Amino acid sequence: MNRCSKVLTQEISTILDLIRHSPDISRINISRQLGISPASTTRIISKLIQNNLVVEADEITAENAGRRATKLIVNNDVMNFAGIEISDIYIAVSIIDFGGNLLYTARIDSSPGESLKGRLTAAENLLSRTHYRFQALGISCIGTIDPERKIIDYCDILGWEKVEAGRIAEKIFNVPIYIDNDVKCDLLGEYFALKGENYNFISLLSFARGVASATMEYNCIQRGFMNVSGEIGHTIIEYSDGRMCSCGMRGCASTVLAEDNIIREAQKTAPDITSLRDIWTAFSNECMWAVRLLDRTSNYIAALARNIICMQNPQCIILRGSLFDEMPGLYDMVLEKYKFFAYYPLKKFENFKLGRLGAESSSFGAAIMAINEYCKANQLIHS
């Protein structure tokens, strides 16, 4: 692909992404939001319509003087994309259409000792149960990921290092493969779920089996030098008497905010506790040990949110993960605690969002990644 073709392909990908994410958008809106000339916008949209990628829908009111404009939407049926989430204890899959609508999702348990090939084969079995075929596949995986080389650099939980995930997956699925860290895929999925709410700078904090964050600026994920930007779970928050973390240090945020560690802390007082839901039930019944535990948990989450806001100053922060899914009042507790932790010049920051996708966010986000990367890498329109 020559340089001019690459520029055009990038513009097409950006326009498709904007149409996909905007419920009411017209040619003039696209031109203004992306800074592309009206003539270029019209030419590209015409090509997208000719190639059956975009269709014209109802008329909408334009931004100026009440003039009418034609609404644009992507053609949902033109192709599908799939996403896989690889966790230490489960495998989840999602299939979405070209518009990002969820067509299929499934999940099965897996054992920590299972190889990547075994996990991907199990995912392929799940995906083959449907009649949907997909154009490309995104893989979301815990650990440190190299997206360009499609390698899992390091995953301490699974004991993996330098695993050639892309090569293994391509042999199994025979479609283009894209891979990234699970929380970065969470952000792609949750941001897409905020359809119609266009943020240029958005962060996500995830509290589940691990603790991590991700930030996106103008639709680009912040990666840092080694694609480990967002490892907030390994920032130290208990200096004097912290618990030992899997990374070898004491006092990391994950030691007090990861799901299993919260359950273990609860079991010191109530040995019959086996889940976050049990803890929330005890809290609702005003058991003092649960009240103290969730008071501390919400304090730590609010403190980490303050850190993200002070360091990144995003327009919006999404809070997601099993802690919020299984303990439904925790989100409001965190927002109340943040009022105390907020840095004075940023006290007016109130734009928190609760994650909307639940357990599907990472596999869904991996499928969104597959759409984005496939559109960037391929010439979708032909003369």
Tens-digit pLDDT string for the chain (383 aa): 555 555 567 888 888 888 888 878 888 888 888 888 889 889 999 999 999 999 988 766 555 545 567 889 899 999 999 999 999 999 999 999 999 999 999 999 998 789 999 999 999 999 999 999 999 999 999 989 999 999 999 888 888 999 999 999 999 999 999 999 999 999 999 999 988 787 889 999 999 998 999 999 988 899 888 788 888 888 888 876 678 887 778 888 899 999 999 999 999 999 999 999 999 999 999 999 999 999 999 999 999 999 998 888 899 999 999 999 999 999 999 999 998 888 777 777 778 999 999 989 999 999 999 999 998 887 676 65
Q: What is the pLDDT of residue 7?
A: 58
Instruction: Please provide the size of the chain in residues.
Output: 383
Q: What angle do CA 130, 135, 139 make, to 5 degrees?
A: 80
Q: What angle do CA 275, 276, 280 make, to 5 degrees?
A: 120
End-to-end CA distance of the chain: 15
By DSSP bridging, strand 201-207 and strand 211-217 are antiparallel
Do the Cβ atoms of 41 and 27 come closer than 8 Å? yes
Q: What is the pLDDT of residue 291?
A: 97
Tokens of 279: 């803890």
Q: Which structural domains are found in the chain, ordered by start?
A: 3-74 (1.10.10.10), 80-187+361-377 (3.30.420.40), 196-355 (3.30.420.40)
From CA 154, how far away is CA 162, in angstroms rounded?
Answer: 6
By DSSP bridging, strand 316-320 and strand 54-61 are unpaired
Q: What is the pLDDT of residue 336?
A: 93
Rg of the Cα atoms in the chain: 22
From CA 302, how far away is CA 294, in angstroms rounded?
Answer: 12
Q: What is the pLDDT of residue 3?
A: 52
By DSSP bridging, strand 144-146 and strand 80-86 are unpaired
Four-residue CA torsion sign, 105, 109, 113, 114: negative
From CA 333, how far away is CA 363, in angstroms rounded?
Answer: 28
Q: What is the pLDDT of residue 128?
A: 94
